[in-house]
Structure 1
Amino acid sequence: MNTDPGFIAAVEEAKKGAAEGGVPIGAALVGKDGTILGRGHNMRVQNGSATLHAEMSALENSGRLPASAYEGATMYTTLSPCDMCTGACILYKIKRVVIGENKNFMGGEEYLKSRGKELVVLDDEECKQMMEKFIKEKPELWNEDIGE
């Protein structure tokens, strides 16, 4: 079991999203000093939002921060980030992205690497199972979430 507080927060957020009937993806933004700056989960279903993915929610919940707060930060996410969330990590100069799993969806990982971001893929069984269950039970919501 992973004991990293940032990853634990992301998984807690994913579970919260699932309990609310949404897409079970969570994220946490952790500063270079280890402080959780913001955390969030996919809120597209709950808020009727086109863009409120977990990583965007974590950034939003971080509040307005100086650029220096993002540099050296780590984004923890339970699923490989989509192109939009990949772009946000690049825009805010987030140094490192820790991914719970990328078997159910492979996002912009190669682009992140090409932009000098450090990637860690945990291949976490709990994250995989949450997404597998959601995709099986709600394929229409999943396809909508990934733009298909």
Structure 2
Amino acid sequence: MQPRHGPRRPSPHTWPSRGETHAPPGKSPRMDEEQARRWLATAVDEARAGLAEGGIPIGAALYGADGTLLGRGRNRRVQDGDPSAHGETAAFRAAGRQRSYRGTTMVTTLSPCWYCSGLVRQFGISRVVVGEAETFHGGHDWLAEHGVEVVVLDDPGCVALMREFIAARPELWHEDIGEE
């Protein structure tokens, strides 16, 4: 059976080279790769913690416009028995109420699913940093089409973490992405 969320598909966007920023038309990229990778380290720590707990290794962090870490979290669907406990939603919840989410950056180890992409759009999160979009193609091009700055890092560590998990626990991975 061919997974519907497999490797990255061709996109209507011209995707940047590793570590470059893809800004929506009319907007100039503002995030450099060094800062994106520093912030990604927080999400990777969360992903590893989730894996150590027996969960799915997806981590996320929400940063304020000034670079302050507002919240961090990991996928806890398995640990909590909660299908809505995704890494991005956990980071968002940990950040607490904010007057506005404009200018904030959601950093995630894996391309965000449609559920988490909707959260980004609903609350006006301005930028998403994606650790990798190779093992799962989520909603990041849709986000870019709707004005969200997207930075795809294609981080080898994130790719390896997910590939190893998928090989070891394919049934859990398919449950997480809604495949049978």
Structure 1: which 4+ aligned runs deviate by more than 3 Å? 1-5
Say whether 1:30 aligns with 2:63. Answer: yes
> For 2:62, what is the secondary structure of its paired residue?
strand
Secondary structure class of the residue paired with 1:104:
coil
1:16 paired residue number: 49
In the alignment, the residues of structure 1 paired with residue 177 and residue 133 of structure 2 have an alpha-carbon distance, to the nearest angstrom, of: 14
CA–CA distance in 2 between the matches of 1:92 and 1:27?
Answer: 16
The structure with more radius of gyration: 2
Consecutive unaligned residues in structure 2, runs of 5 or more? 1-32
- Matched letter for residue 118 of structure 1: E
Paired with 2:84 and 2:175, the residues of 1 have a C-alpha distance of 11
Task: Point out where structure 1 has 5 or more consecutive residues left out of the alignment.
Answer: none
Cα RMSD (Å) of the superposition? 1.3
Identical residues among aligned pairs (%): 52
Q: One-letter code of the match for 2:69?
A: I
Aligned equivalent of 1:39, options 58, 66, 72: 72
Corresponding residue number in structure 2 for 1:93: 124
TM-score, normalising length: structure 2: 0.78
SS of aligned partner of 2:167: helix
Query: What one-letter code is carried by the residue in structure 2 that aligns with 1:113?
Result: A
- Residue 56 of structure 1 pairs with residue 89 of structure 2: yes
Aligned length: 146
Within the candidate set 157, 160, 167, 1:136 is matched to 167
Determine which structure has the larger helix proportion and give its number.
1
Q: 8 Å contact 1:2–1:8 — kept in the other structure?
A: no
Work out which structure has the larger RCO, using CA pairs closer than 8 Å and 6 or more positions apart in sequence.
Answer: 2
